[in-house]
Every structure is written in C-alpha cells, then in structure tokens.
Structure 1
Amino acid sequence: MKLTKMKTTSKIKFTTAAMALVILMASCSKKDDKIFEESSTIRLETAKQELRADLKSSPEGWKLVYFPMSTEALTVVPGANKSYSFLFKFTDDTHVQMKSTLDLTRLETSEYALKLGSTLKLEFSTYSILHDLADASFAEPGMGGRARGGEFEFLSYGRADRDLIFQTNRKHVELRFERATKEDWVDMNATISNILATDFVAPGYVFSASREGTKLKDSILTLTKTGTKTVTLYTKTTNPTTGVVTKTLTRRAGLGYGTKGIYIMPGIEFEGKTFYFFQWDATNKKFVSKIGDITAEIAGTSDPKFL
C-alpha cells in the first residue's frame, strides 16, 4: 500500500510540474509574441518617421517617371509603353505640391499620408493629377475609354543611393523617386533630352551585359527619342550558306527620361535580374545599370554588326 501511495504521489507531483512548465512556456510564448509585435510596430513607426523626413529632405522635391501600363502587352493595349513624369514636393507632414507631363498647365497641392500595415505605404489621399491615370474619363485617345492603369498607393522599399524606392500597391511595379532639380520644374525632360541630342549620338546603339569585365551578352538596340519614346532590342544572325542577315525582334519597351538617367519599362531581364534604370556616365558617354555583379550598358557604336 505504501509503495502504491508513493507512486501515486510521484505521478501527481510530476503531472503538477509538467502542467506548471506548460503554463510557464505558454506565458513566455505570449510575452515573446507581445515583445515581437511591439518591436515590429516600433520598427515600422521608426521607418515611417524616417521616410517622412526623407520625403521633405529634397529642396526641389522628387521626380518620378511612371509607366502605369508597363505590365500590359503592347499587342493588346496600344500605348502601353508610354511614360508620364511627375514632380512631387512634400512641403510638410500632410501636403504635397505636384506637376506632371500629363498637363503642364496644372500645378496642384494635394494631401498625402504615410500608413502602417504589413509594410509602410505612401498614399496620395486626395484627388490630384496622379489620380487621372486611374480615371477612365482621362483615357488616352485610341484606348476605347479605358483608364491608363495608374495607382496612387506606393509601398516603401528603402533607398538606392540617394533615391527612394517604392512598389505600386496592386501591380508591384518598382518605382524610383529621384531628387529633382530647379531645372526639372521648368522643363521636366530637358536634361536627358539634351544629352540624347548632343552627347549620345551614334550610327547605332548596343545593349551589353558583363560580369567583372567579361562580356556575357550584347544586342542591337534602337532608340526612338521623340514622340512616343521607345526602345527596341534585336539579335542579328547570318545564314552560313546564303550569307543573308536576319534581325529578330526580342524586346520592345517604353523609354522615359529621369533626372540623371533613362528608364526602360518593362525592364530588360538578364540572369534573373531586371534592368530598368540606366544612369548617364558622362565620362564614357553611355548609360549604365549595375545589379549585384552584373553591369548592363547602353552605348553608341559604329560596329557594322550592330547597325
């Protein structure tokens, strides 16, 4: 009897200890979850304050080159490669002054907000010229009254050099806010237009990609610098028997003019990377984009194989 009683007592003690351990672990887990939630909230709130400071830090505001229909196929939606330039000057914690190539006669002041969710979001919260891109009543001619697919909620994805990086909320297209200049407010496209007209003139153009100086790819590239600006990539093959040269279209995209470079949308994809912003290299007279160990370039050429 004593032995049985001792076993029963031991079981009770063990069960009680186990239950206490479970309760303690659950309590710790809840505390850890609460600490994690609090630290996550603190991080987002800190990011919010930093982004607000960044938005207001550029004296002349920010320039955005926006291709609202860049995910559409050109064969389905004519004009899907068209870009629109915007200038945003964030004057205080809630107001933003803006101008756009959509209508250069309009200089507007609108409201914006920074909102916390799964990530930090910049929302243009009152109707402005940016919202025209989502309004069917402002559709481009020839689009059958269809809206141009614009968005006005941008998710913050940090910085690249001195630029601010966002993604559109629905289509997740990357956007880049460049620091604007006084000249941009006079003529938004003047800087790059002048470079293309004077410093970037050649018999032909070539897109190339390299890794640490070793060339990996090159393609014929053509630029339409005026009107509906476009970039077209081709490959050229020569029939070994007949000697006939064939050019094959591999890419057609829109061309936009930033403050310090050009934008190509949809971007050029290579080795799992998408190159869409090419910065002007004034020393070597070419446009350059670097992601990781891959450098992509757009340069002038007189080489017959690229003409």
Structure 2
Amino acid sequence: MKLKNIINYLLVALLAIQLVSCDNKESLDSPFNATPTERLNAREKELDDLLASSEFGWKAVYFTDNTQLGGFTHLFKFKDGKVDMASDFDNDTSIFASEYDIVLGSTVSLVFTTKNRIHLLSDSNSFPTAALRGKGYKGDFQFLYYGQDNGQIIFRTNRTFQELRFVKATASDWTDLAKSRLMVANVIGESTRPLFRLLETNDGTKISQFDFTFTSNSRFATSNSIETGSSLTNNIGIAYTPTGITVSPAVKVGNQELTTFTYDPATGNFNATGTGGVTASIKYSAKPLVLTDDYKMFLPGNPYIYFGYFVGDYIEDAPTNSDLFVSLLNQANTGLPVGKKLTDIYVYLNHPTLGSFINYYFENGSFIRHYVVITEDAVNKKVILTDDGFGAGGAYPPLSFIRPIDAQLLDTNGIYVKKEKFKLGYGNDVYTLTASQNPFRMSVWKL
C-alpha cells in the first residue's frame, strides 16, 4: 500500500475516534441520559422546593371561566405537605390549613388533597347561576406544572388546560383579602349613588359608551354599546382588589388593553388609564343611557300581553336583575313555609275582562292579585302603575310577604321598560322593569 493511502486511512481513523469521543461526552452530559422516572422525580423536587421558597407564600387570581365568571384571589403558604390557604370567595378570609401533594403522571402536578378554600370553586352543588347548576364555579384543585417565568410559577388546570400563574405573595396580601371584600359593595353600586351605570371609554379621539350591569354572585359584568347598529361588547369577569378591581378579559380601547381599575370614593367611579389619553371608566348615570319606546306596550288600548319571572328558571340568571330585587325576593320567601313559597311573578297588561294586574303565585297554587291602573310619562318615557285594589285565589299568604316587591313596581315616579338584547334559555324576548328612584330591576320573559 502506498504511503499516501496509509496516511489517509490513519486520518480517517483518528477523526472517527474523535467523533465517538464527542458523542460519548454529550451523552453523559445530556439530561436525556436520565430515565423518564428520574426526570419526573427531579421535576417533582424542583416544584416542591419552589413552592416552599417564597417567604410569604404565593398568590393566584383564578378566573375559572371569564366568559361568565369573575376572578377569585387565593393565597397559599406551602411547607412539608401542608398548606395554609385563604381566599376572598366570601367574607370569611381566615387562614385554613390542609394538605397538598406533588403527583407524578404524564407530567408533574400540584394537587390539593384535602378540602380547603380552593375546593369551593369545584363544588358542583354550589353554583352562582342556574346555567351553572351541577357545574359550580368551574374550578379545579389539580394544577399541571409548566415551569417558571420571571419568578412566577406557571400551571395549567387539569380539567380545562387553562393557564394559572402563582406570583410571590407579600405580607400585606394576607391582610388585603379582607380589604378586597369591602370593594364588593362599590362594584355592586352604592344605594346613595344614581341608579344607572355605564362603561365609558376614550381612545384619545373618540368617547364610546356601553351600558353596564354587574351580577355579584358570578362576579361578571355585561356591557353593550349604546350606539345604533353597534354590536360591540365589553363583557368582563371581575376580581376585587383593596384599591379597585382587575378584569378579564381586558377592556380594549383602541390598540390598548386595560385590566386595572382604581376606585374613586368621591365619585364612585372605577377608572383605568392607558397611554396617549386612553382611559376607561365605570361610572354612574342619573337616567338610562338610551330612552326607548318599549314602555308603550304597557299602555291602555294595546293588545293583551303578559310577562313572567319564574323562581329557579333561567330568568334568574339575567345580569339585569338587581341585588335589591333578589334580596326582596329572598326576604319574601324567608318567612314562608315549604309548600307556600313565592314561585312566579306575572305582569298582565290589557286583559280583555280583568284589565291590567300583577299576580304573585305560590307553591300551593294560590296567588295574590294586584289590579293596577297604568298611565304614561311621555316626557321621561316611563309608565306609572297605581293601585286599583287586591284580589286573591286560594289560601294565599298575607300581603306583607309581597309588599316590598310590589311597592317597587308601583313606584310613584314610574318604571322604565327596556327590551334586552340577550335571550335566556328560551326564545322569548327578555324585558327589564326598572324603578325610577331605587336600584330595583326585575327582568321578565315576554310570554
């Protein structure tokens, strides 16, 4: 063999040896040299160490479904399989102890293994609206670990694969939960403020207005543009803070997204500020943003029609039902025995023989009937219902049980009538009857 060929073979052999040596080194250094179980065990320790690493624990604002529910703030302090937990789910912001575990599956996950505040969101027997019956607040108590980002722990919920971030809590976060609960009344709307609410946005060149209705049980607000022909909405889930609220999804104003609204006690407004003159504000109005002629169907001489509210049916979920109406309804039923509770409220207009009246129906089939005379306030586009006597059927409860609701419907300053854009369960149109002076709103189906 020629010397030149021998040298070439030797060079090739040396190169092959170097490549094998490099491959072996990379193999030894590679994380994939570990078995899947070893990698999961390492990931498990990483998460457990991380959970215990924050001095004051972790905070998570959990929006379980921001298409119909708001956010719930939870605080966690982890150590050795034990967790101290508090939340703003209700007025009890105390700290409760329970247990957690790091579970190995297809990935590593955090599981709250014994009952605590987080489980209030996954209890199917506790639901804020009729539409969520059997679903609860759509929450989870198992969270899949997906690493870290700028000091935050990234999880995804086990059931819906929704991202949830834990951020490091501060000492004040634990005391602020109770302060956040004080914000609830401000979001609902103070009784000393004007009756109506709106969301107003300013993109720096144009001001836009949306009606605004908040439902406290679900922490969800609906707002629709009042501009003719516009279908723009800003329906948002709301989470409470000591200084205001955060919202999800964000309110879009121009090309900016606003999520943090600060409460102004002087005006009762919640204000968010962007850049370049961009703002959004939830504020009060002394009258409806748009006065409609929807009230005219109530007037004498029109065809016979009637409307109904049914306890326990989809109409309960109308975001336009005010807390005052709901509380008066609960108050009416609190003193009634089983079998006699108030179940339906019907408003009959222009009956061919009986005229106009309100019927309050009870479980035992009895009812209280209040005959009314209807007059028009054409200037303010309202109707005024005045007393024309009572009638009844069956062994009905005393009048005192329905008086508080009845008094609102017969507000001497009149009531506004508005056809809503949304439907509830059925194809029937939804109308809202709103008292002029008090935050009383009752939504009914047109039947």
SS in 1 for 2:26: helix
Tell me the TM-score normalised to structure 2 length: 0.45
Q: Report if aligned partners of 1:205, 1:220 keep a CA contact under 8 Å in 2.
A: yes
Using a 3 Å threshold, how does the CA distance of structure 1 residues 133 and 197 change in structure 2: closer, same or farther? closer
Deviates more, 1:137-146 or 1:12-21: 137-146
Partner Cα separation in structure 1 for residue 155 and residue 200 of structure 2: 26
Contact 1:88 1:96 in 2 (8 A): no
Change (3 A) 1:84 1:102: farther
Aligned counterparts, 1:21-170, within 5 A: 21-34=18-31, 49=49, 51-54=51-54, 56-57=55-56, 62=59, 64-70=60-66, 81-83=68-70, 85-90=72-77, 92-100=79-87, 101=89, 104=92, 108-113=96-101, 122-138=110-126, 142=130, 143-154=132-143, 155=145, 157-158=148-149, 166-170=154-158
Say if 2:248 is the partner of 1:252. Answer: no
Q: Matched residues in 2 for 1:96 and 1:36: separation?
A: 35
State the alpha-carbon separation in 2 of the partners of residues 141 and 11 from structure 1: 82
Q: How many residues align?
A: 272
CA 32–216 in structure 1, closer or farther in 2 if over 3 Å, else same: farther
Gaps of 5+ in 1: 72-80, 238-244
Task: Give the distance between the partners of 1:87 and 1:253, measured in 2 at CA.
Answer: 20
Aligned equivalents of 1:235, 1:197: Cα separation in 2: 20
Q: Deviations over 1:54-93 (max 9, x none)?
A: 2x426xx85x54332336xxxxxxxxx2346354352744
The percent identity for this pair of structures is: 16
1:193 match: secondary structure? helix
- Deviation of residue 262 (structure 1)? 1.4
Name the CA distance, whole Å, in 2 between partners of 1:44 and 1:273.
Answer: 39
Contact kept in structure 1, 2:197 and 2:211, CA below 8 Å: yes
More helix by share: 1
- Kept in 2: contact 1:114–1:120 (CA 8 A): yes
Give the superposition deviation at 1:109.
1.6
Secondary structure of the 2:21 match is helix
Q: How does 1:189-268 map to 2 (within 5 A)?
A: 189-191=181-183, 193-194=185-186, 197=189, 205-208=198-201, 214=204, 218=208, 220=210, 222-224=212-214, 226-237=216-227, 245-246=228-229, 248-268=231-251
**Are 1:67 and 1:82, in contact at CA under 8 Å, matched by a contact in 2?**
yes
**SS at 2:235's partner residue?**
strand
Where relative contact order (Cα < 8 A, 6+ residues apart) is larger, the structure is: 1
Unpaired runs of 5+ in structure 2? 35-40, 291-447
Structure 1 residues 193 and 273 mapped into 2: Cα distance closer, same or farther (>3 Å)? same
User: What secondary structure does 1:82 align onto?
Assistant: coil
Cα RMSD (Å) of the superposition? 5.2
Match of residue 78 from structure 1: none
